[in-house]
Structure 1
Amino acid sequence: MKTPVFEEFDPASDCDCPGCAHWRRVNPYSPAWGSSRFGGHPAARRTLVVATAAAATLGAGHAVPALAAPQAPARPGIPAGDEPDTPQGGKAPLHGPGGRPAQPAATVATPATTRAEIIRRAREWVAAQVPYSMSAYWSDGYRQDCSGFVSMAWQLPGNEWTGTLAQYGTRISKEELQPGDILLFHNPADPRKGSHVVIFGGWTDYTHTYYLAYEQTRPTARRQATPYAYWSHTDRYVPYRYKGLVAGSGTETSGQQPAVAEGAGAVGSAAAYPGPSFFGPGADNPYVTQLGRLLVARGGARFYVSGPGPRWSEADRRATQAFQQAQGWSGARADGLPGPQTWRLLTTGQGRDIAPAAPPRATGVAGPPSPRAPAFPGRGLFRPGAQNTYVTQLGRQLVKKGFGRYYTQGPGPRWGEADRRAVEAFQRAQGWRGGAADGYPGPETWRRLFA
């Protein structure tokens, strides 16, 4: 099929607000029912539509996710507003200063990149709050819609659309998904209706029902926990992996440098560092398991009650930090997140092992065991309309931690705005911003709150 052409016009009949729907029923043949003299909705005056060679009318195909609550997945308590309305532009070259198209590439190319670089570029647009547009181009030359966002993150030579992105990737399974891969839905019958693409940022929990999605949507680029595969048309989203993906070392965020001489043990061949995006809250991949086993072999077994496993945990962070401190590092250099230097020392058997735990001082009285955080019950229990004992438990812990100023009464079992604002305040106190501080507790928020 041909690449669609997008046009703008002003169809009053496209508005689905209650006022416009009422006037359509009262006087369906009047050309002015949606005009201002009948109180027509102003949102209907600037509607983006797509025309294709195969379709001559609007209304065919699937409904736009943000407007189609009945088609949303049956997930109690999930706000429908989390689904974006994402019309997209067509295939186009990169755009330079002043909106002038750059010289298009002669052939299809897949420039080499790493997972860490893909996630880093996606985060830049999220941090810059790049506004959504299917016709505007950001300063880097990429179109500000969902497919332009992926073209930018994959560093493609031009602006692709959902109908062409698949040629740059290899289809994979859900179990193979890793940060930097994409979930793609292209609706060939009517690309504007439902077509969308997001970047996979990692699983949020061991159930693999939610993941961190980086996406370009209205009003701006965002990073948000999203049900797998996506809010609407979930059975049509297909995972793809970029063909130009290579193994490489990402940027070390902790600024680690060895402060002690390397150990005299046997030196092996260092495995390639997969990148910082594979480690930290929400990470779930084989590299986390490999890291844990290496740490156990270097004296970190006492930090693990079970495992190690593929899901990042506080045990992984504490064991990594203990290994870093054993090298003489401190402060930001011993943050518990493995960088290239930490990874090299572990995979080659170099550096100092983790020191054994100091024996407890004899006091004659055995102290109580350290409390452990209760298991996270799941995100679906903390949404508008939710009512359960976990909401009460959450609220009471927030009050205990000093975040109870939003409660005029309670806390109680019914989720409310006071709960959301208290959770958001706690998340911001952790230094989180944007989608990471949305006021809805996830596994890491829960762990820190009850730790």
Structure 2
Amino acid sequence: MWSMIGRRSRAGVIAALVAVAASLLLAQNPAAAATGYGGDVKRSVVISRAKDWFDRNVPYSQNLDESTWVWDENHGHKYRPDCSGFISMAWRLTSSRNTGTLPAVSHTINWNDLLPGDALLKTTGNLATEHVRLFDRWVDESTHADFWYYEEGSTATDMNHARVNVRDIRNAGYHPIRYDHIVKG
């Protein structure tokens, strides 16, 4: 009977069987679905992924040619190695977003609510987005005055892990955002 089905039809049948098997596996193990791209991601995973690019000192580039994009730590996806591609990678998004499209997968939060894995989005007076950084941690949890962040900075600096004062970054036009699918852990 298999020989009676054309090559294209066989490929379609195989693809359908694989999809059904995958959905059954994920239904039996919801945790496996949560670890995928575009879904829930733990804060510790976001910071670990950011640290991976920092440790590799991934060079900054806004090149739109996907052949120059960089694999994430487990080679699941490739991302543009600029500020928003870096955030997309850290958040395990399914594609490399730009600063103008990151708000579609996040929401604004208060400065005092910043937690590891949140981000800081810079906007100008006309609300055009310019740059984004990843919040790492508060220097002093009791004061919330200074914090550490990761960023894919520029062609001059590449990856950065630096300390900044909240007042200074607020005055520079940044505001805190949180990925809609970030979870504890």
TM-score (norm 2): 0.67
Match of 2:166 in 1: 228
Residue 111 of structure 1 and its aligned partner are, at CA, apart by: 1.4
Q: Return the alpha-carbon distance in structure 1 between the equivalents of residues 168 and 101 of structure 2.
A: 20
Deviation at 1:207, TM superposition (A): 2.7
Offset at residue 246 of structure 1 (A): 2.4
Higher deviation after alignment, 182-191 or 215-224: 182-191
The alpha-carbon distance between structure 1 residues 238 and 232, as it changes in their structure 2 partners (threshold 3 A), is closer
**What does residue 133 of structure 1 align with?**
61
Match of 2:42 in 1: 114
CA contact (8 A) 2:150 2:161 kept: yes
Shift of 1:220: 1.7
Determine the C-alpha separation between the residues in 2 that align with 1:131 and 1:211: 24
- Find the residue that maps to 1:195 and give its secondary structure: strand
Question: Residue by residue, what CA displacement relative to the aligned partner does 1:109-159 show, whole Å, maximum 9, x if unpaired?
Answer: 841100000000000000000011111411331001100000000011111
Quick check: which one's strand share is greater? 2
CA shift for structure 1 position 170? 2.1
Say if 1:232 and 1:132 are closer, same or farther in 2 by CA, change over 3 A. Answer: farther
- State the alpha-carbon separation in 1 of the partners of residues 130 and 171 from structure 2: 9
- Does the CA contact (< 8 Å) of 1:213 and 1:223 recur in 2? yes
1:230–1:214 distance in 2 versus 1, CA, 3 Å = farther
Q: Secondary structure at the match of 1:162?
A: coil
Task: Write the letter of the residue equivalent to 2:69.
Answer: Y
SS across alignment from 1:158: coil
Unaligned ranges ≥5, structure 1 = 1-108, 248-273, 275-451
Q: CA deviation at 1:181?
A: 0.5
Q: Which of the numbers 191, 200, 203 marks the counterpart of 2:135? A: 200
Higher Cα radius of gyration? 1
- The one-letter amino acid paired with 1:204 is V
Aligned partner of 2:123 in structure 1 is: 186
Contact 2:112/2:144 (<8 A) preserved: no
Give the counterpart of 2:105 among 168, 174, 196: 168
Asked whether the equivalents of residues 187 and 195 of structure 1 are also in contact (C-alpha less than 8 Å), the reply is yes
- Count residues with an aligned counterpart: 137
Q: In 1, distance between residues paired with 2:111 and 2:147? A: 11
**Once superposed, what is the RMSD of the aligned Cα atoms?**
2.2
- CA apart distance, 1:229: 5.5
Q: What is the percent sequence identity of the aligned residues?
A: 34
Task: Return the letter of the residue paired with 2:49.
Answer: R
CA-CA distance at 1:190 after TM superposition: 8.9
Higher relative contact order, chain-length normalized (CA < 8 Å, sep 6+): 2
Partner residue in 2 for 1:142: 79
Q: What is the SS of the residue equivalent to 1:118?
A: helix
- 4+ residue runs over 3 A deviation: 186-191, 229-233
SS in structure 2 of the partner of residue 207 of structure 1: coil
> TM-score normalised to the size of structure 1?
0.29
